A and B are shown apart, each in its own frame.
Chain A
Amino acid sequence: MSHTFTLDGKVIPFVDGQTIIQAASAAGVFIPHLCYHPEFKPHGSCKLCTVKVNGRHTASCTMRAAPGMVVESETEEINAERRALTQMLFVEGNHFCPSCEKSGNCQLQATAYHLGMMSPHYDHFFPNRAVDASHPEVLLDFNRCILCSLCVRASRDVDGKNVFGLSGRGIKTHLIVNAKSGQLADTDFTLDDKAAQVCPVGVILKKRRGFAVPIGERKFDKAPISETADTTEGR
């Protein structure tokens, strides 16, 4: 059955069972997000999609829409919080956009632009993370991981391989490869896996392909993420 709620004053229709972000997306309204992906169950971990519902903060990817809800998203207060979260993601990893193949196709970078992030603001952690180049077709650059767990979910739920996992707790949480050696080459991961297609940043990259698409012709070069129908990372 169809109902409506308001999002920043705009009437958004929804059907029973839809979350706020699903309904907004169907109506063509962008809510910033990183760990949410329309093809996967919500994870609710990045908190970028936080909105205010009837005055209370909640993740729009996990909150089901309800009739008459008053939802606020594009307010300076909420965007300031999203910006701070994004800045934290940048300083916790090593995100050197100028030499990253994903630049222009990167959801984190596009989201930072959308939120008007002008600097990292916080001190960089500069973590020392190794690159896993063991696989013949795919490079893993852990420096850029934002712990969205999309590769974990894709490998487990779609590919049925369980190649990836998150290990550790709190600030020590990190992405691991499910092999005794810890190396991707020692798994049955292939380039065709769904997990190879979903990374919103530049962690899982096809090897030997770099900068083949010129500047200006990449997904988020052409239009800001808020005006791009498919907000998942570019290819």
Chain B
Amino acid sequence: MTYQLETAQHPETLRRVAIDPVSRVEGHGKVTILLDDQNKVHQVRLHIVEFRGFEKFIQGRPYWEVPVMVQRLCGICPVSHHLAASKALDVIVGAKKLTATAEKMRRLMHYGQMLQSHALHFFHLCSPDLLFGFDSDVTKRNIVGVAMAHPETAKRGVLLRKFGQEVIRVTAGKRVHGTGAIPGGVNKALTVAERDELLKDIYHIVQWSRDAVHLIQKVHTQDPGLYNSFGIFRSNFMSIVGNNGDLDFYHGTLRARDDNGKIIFDHVDYQQYNQYIEEEVRPWSYMKFPFFKSLGKDHGWYKVGPLARVQNCNQISTPFAEHERKEFVDYAGGSPMHAPLAYHWTRMIEMLHAAEVIKELLHDDDLLGSDLVVEGERQMEGVGVIEAPRGTLFHHYQVDENDLITMANLIVSTTNNNQAMNEAIRHVARRYLHGHEVTEGLLNHIEVAIRAFDPCLSCATHALGKMPLEVELVDPEGRIVHSLSRS
């Protein structure tokens, strides 16, 4: 299937505008737009221009190195990769059930990360667009501008993130790229001093998170014409859900719904994820395009992340976040909300939930325990899945009898949103750019649509040797002189 605006019929006759790099996102990406003489849009693509290749180069390495090595994919949410890999290796070492201390330490680490990553995204990266306007003065549309105009908001953003980083430090050993989780458990418990230090701040962290939900709710509901339709597309969506269908970032089973909210599959053990999900490669991107096998690649693509999770779960286990979830669902009117800008609202609901869970955990003495690691019968293959800040993250490994990795497959959160992000920017291009003179403010509309998904482009590109390549030699008149392809 050819998606609308994915590939122009005669690109050689069109003018190319590039947003390179896309700013205020994690990693390096660019958008190319092909326009004709009347500024009509013919092609829009989000390209991921860097190549990482972790799937390939961890092959041949001993499995116990993997949780520490693969987290180097990213400096923003390394904990996600650290824990997804550790969960996969729990399966490999036969650790069917972790000790209470180990699971709660990992949970604390992960929820600390959700808090810091969501705070970073909302306050540092997106609040300039949301508070000042998408085409406001570009010299002020940044976190420094926010700090000047809204100092209390900016300060809270910095301190919320700092608190999340501290949670990571005491659980993983470092704020970035720690070593807390190991196959079968963790390498440390919390000390009383570490717990007490976090307890000093957690109550106002919860309150500030509530205020952040109310801030984005106000911004969203004050301008429904913009926020409910900007970059909108309808799609399936997916996440893991915990016991009783609770929102759960650390563990659960896979659940997918169609664009009307109807269940496509539910209670799926993620060890069998590849019976439900397949990945397509396209010649113009290093990032793969996953889809539900049952619906095929034309109709099976989906979105993940806060907007999917908050609408996929039955309820949220913590009271303030559950109240805010109900407010959001009521606003959506009983059917799934698909507006990309609603990601911000749901992201802040998740940040509030993360803060509340951290508060609960800090009152749980299991975190101070000493029983850290379990193991069992060694297996040759394991899958670990976690809800990273940006969405569902899959790590799948096979290990040989000598303990070396022989196969790795990573489906990274942002990869799950690949088609969704492309659809969003095409919608924005059609609505705002089509037939208009291109300005910086208009191009920022494209970036606003991308930012809503909080993509981490550096995590998402691993398709070594799998990408079909097409090379065309074109003469000055645009005629194809020679072409080569590898499928």
Contacts and interface: CB of A to CB of B under 8 A. Distances in A.
A138 to B, nearest CB: 11
B187 A212 contact: yes
Interface string B148-182: 00000000000000000000000011100111101
A169 interface: no
A2 interface: no
Contact of A210 (B64, B177, B188, B404): B64
B174 A215 contact: yes
A184 to B, nearest CB: 11
A131 B404 contact: yes
A131 B188 contact: no
Contacts of A99: 61, 65, 68-69, 72
Contact of B64 (A98, A130, A208): A208
Interface size class of A (residues with CB under 8 A): 20 to 34
Interface string B42-67: 00000000000000000011101101
Interface string A201-235: 00000011111111110000000000000000000
Contacts of A96: 69
Contacts of B173: 214-216
B27 interface: no
Given A99-B72, A216-B173, A211 B182 contact: yes
B64 A101 contact: yes
A211 B403 contact: no
24 contacts: A96-B69, A98-B72, A98-B177, A99-B61, A99-B65, A99-B72, A131-B61, A133-B62, A133-B402, A133-B403, A134-B402, A139-B403, A207-B403, A210-B65, A210-B183, A211-B182, A211-B187, A212-B182, A214-B173, A214-B179, A214-B180, A214-B188, A215-B174, A215-B179
Given A131-B404, A207-B403, A139 B62 contact: yes
Given A98-B69, A99-B69, A139-B403, A215 B60 contact: no
A216 B403 CA distance: 27
Contacts of A208: 64, 93, 403
A34 B174 CA distance: 28
A131 to B, nearest CB: 6
Contacts of B172: 215
A163 to B, nearest CB: 18
Contacts of B64: 101, 208-211
Interface string A76-114: 000000000000000000001011110000000000000
B68 A207 contact: no
Contacts of A216: 173
Interface residues of B, number: 25
Nearest to B400: A133
Contacts of A141: 62
Interface in A175-214: 207-214
Q: Give the secondary structure class of A's interface.
A: loop
A215 B64 CA distance: 16
Among A133, A134, A209, A210, chain B packs the most CB atoms within 10 A around the CB of A210
Nearest to A96: B69
A143 to B, nearest CB: 10
A133 B404 contact: yes
Interface string B395-408: 00000001110000
A213 B187 contact: yes
Nearest to A100: B65
A210 B62 contact: yes
| Residue among A131, A207, A211 facing the most chain B CB atoms (10 A cut-off) | A211
Contacts of A210: 62, 64-65, 68, 182-183
Contact of B62 (A207, A213, A215): A207
Q: Which 7 A-B pairs have the closest CB atoms?
A: A210-B64, A215-B173, A99-B69, A133-B402, A211-B179, A214-B188, A214-B173
Given A214-B180, A215-B174, A131 B69 contact: no
A175 B222 CA distance: 70
Interface in A109-140: 130-131, 133-134, 139
A98 B78 CA distance: 13
Interface in B58-110: 60-62, 64-65, 67-69, 72, 93
Nearest to B72: A98
Contacts of B187: 211-214
Interface in A139-173: 139, 141
B383 to A, nearest CB: 20
A179 to B, nearest CB: 16
A210 B63 CA distance: 9
A214 B168 CA distance: 13
A43 to B, nearest CB: 29
Given A133-B402, A214-B173, A98 B68 contact: yes
Nearest to B70: A99
Contacts of B61: 99, 131
Interface string B402-421: 11100000000000000000
Given A210-B182, A212-B182, A215-B178, A101 B65 contact: yes
A23 B62 CA distance: 41
A186 to B, nearest CB: 13
B27 to A, nearest CB: 19
A190 to B, nearest CB: 17
Interface in B339-391: 373
Contacts of B174: 215
Contacts of A101: 64-65
A133 B406 CA distance: 13
